Amino acid sequence: METEKKVIIKASNLNKEYQVSKTETLKVLKNINVEIYEGEVATIVGPSGAGKSTLLHIIGTLDKPTSGEVTFDGESVFSLGSNELARFRNTRIGFVFQFHHLLPEFSALENVCIAAMISGQSMKSVEPKAKELLSEVGLGSRLDHKPSELSGGEAQRVAIARALINSPKVILADEPTGNLDTKNSDEVLNLIFDLRKKYNRTFIIVTHNEKFAEMTDRTIKMTDGMIVQ
């Protein structure tokens, strides 16, 4: 018997428009409806300009739709006030971007800890968990390295540890391997599968890597602001 899948994120009738001139609006997302299930690794693929990053940012509450709704565990996220929304985002969602966006002045360990300190924890209390996560991503011997003292793949793995520090249910990644060579990107992708297996986290990943997309549970294809099957 197939176990019932639990919807964790539901996007309904999402539209995103930009007013590019007085007379012209650009429709970037056109009535998007999509459900994401708990524990799945889903990829979003499609040509450049299709609206993948826009959709990911709206799902992650980093951006607002022109119309439509996103619910997370049944809760409508855009009806939260801005403080509540910031708190929600910080504790429930982890982000990994194409470029790691680590703070250059801080070590790998500090970069991971800072993400937890933003949600009110002390450096001392988060340090053990940060070390454990960094070991898990294979960087137990690189704790004191600053981003410039890490390889691209290592920096991206620090960014993944950082995304996981607050134990978010969902991790959103926008081309996490877009900037890496084949070996490093394979490592990052294997890590994502290991983490899913271990923690049953949900991953939504925008990628141009077809091989990776084929390995995931589901591929959502986008073209011209729409989801195509």
Q: Which residues bind ligand ATP (CB under 6 A)?
A: 18, 20, 26, 28, 46, 48-54
CA 228 to chain CA centroid, nearest Å: 22
Least separation in angstroms between residue 225's CB and ligand ATP is: 7
The residues, ordered by sequence, that sit 6+ positions from 161 with a Cβ below 8 Å of its Cβ are: 108, 112, 130, 133, 134, 136, 137, 139
Q: Which of 29, 44, 53, 137: binder of Mg ion (CB under 5 A)? A: 53
CA 157-158-164 angle, to 5 degrees, is: 90
Least separation in angstroms between residue 16's CB and ligand ATP is: 8
Least separation in angstroms between residue 227's CB and Mg ion is: 15
Contact pattern for Mg ion over residues 13 through 52, marking x by CB under 5 A: ----------------------------------------
If we measure between CA atoms, which residue out of 151, 146, 166 comes closest to residue 91?
A: 166
Which partner, Mg ion, ligand ATP, none, binds residue 78 by CB below 5 to 8 Å per kind? none
| Residue 25 or 167 having the CB closest to ligand ATP | 25
Distance, CA of 173 to CA of 65 (rounded, Å): 19
Which partner, ligand ATP, Mg ion, none, binds residue 49 by CB below 5 to 8 Å per kind? ligand ATP
First to last CA, the chain: 26
